Structure 1
Amino acid sequence: MITYNQTAMPRFVLAAGLALLGTVASFGVTTTPARAGTSTNAATLATGLESPAKKVVNGALWKCTGDACVGQIDGSRPVNTCRQVVKTFGAVTKFATPKGELSAEDLQRCNAAA
């Protein structure tokens, strides 16, 4: 004879439902695209480039078109990264990180690397 445990079935259904919900939620999080611009630095060159350029600066790829350059965050202090960008592409008039732009004083220190 088969006996039915009335308390086991609702627990099983609850556990299965929670597992399914967790799977759906985690799938939604992993397939959500990253927000653009959250992990990049941007520089405006004082003199635009004649043709687009791609170069590795401090281990991160930088892409420049005209006077606009964008590169991944490399872990260095923004002023140090800015100095390397100046050495690679030329003087900058603006250098921005996800946390904000460099001050005029920091830009001056950055451009001293040229």
Structure 2
Amino acid sequence: MRKWMVPLAAALAMGFALGPALAGSTATLAAPVEKETQVIKDGKIWRCEGDRCATDAEYETVNRLVRACRAIVDEAGPVTDVTSGDDRLGPDELAACNR
């Protein structure tokens, strides 16, 4: 029984450590937030810490991602990069987001 407990504990620890890196959508902030910030848009909860915001959810359209990005900018400040799944906001979309 003890044989599998150590590998299991290690795997679980890695999963928790990698969890935020595997989020469905991420935003990189131009400047870090001073305290952990939460942004809710379209029923999705974004958590911002340091210079990064993330949610487990992915957005179906770029327009919805831009709307979420604007909510992040309102709460946490300007962004330099935003992704959702395989989609990444381009320069024009980032400019619209940071308005």
Shorter-chain TM-score: which interval? Answer: 0.5 to 0.7
**Once the two structures are superposed, what CA deviation does each residue of 1:18-68 show, in whole Å capped at 9, x if it has no partner?**
xxxxxxxxxxxxxxxxxx63x621001111111222232232111111010
> Which of 86, 90, 93 pairs up with 1:103?
90
In terms of fraction of residues, the more helix-rich structure is 2
1:82 aligns with 2:87: no
Structure 1 unaligned spans of 5+: 1-35
| Aligned residue in 2 for 1:63 | 47
| Aligned residue in 1 for 2:11 | none
Structure 2 unaligned spans of 5+: 1-18
1:47 aligns with 2:52: no
Percent of pairs identical after alignment? 30
**How many residues matched?**
76
Distance 2:76 2:58 in 1: 17
Structure with the larger RCO, 1 or 2 (CA within 8 Å, 6+ apart): 2
**Once the two structures are superposed, what CA deviation does each residue of 1:56-105 show, in whole Å capped at 9, x if it has no partner?**
22321111110100023355621122112212211101101102211011
- Superposed CA RMSD in Å reads 2.0
> Which of 55, 58, 80 pairs up with 1:73?
58
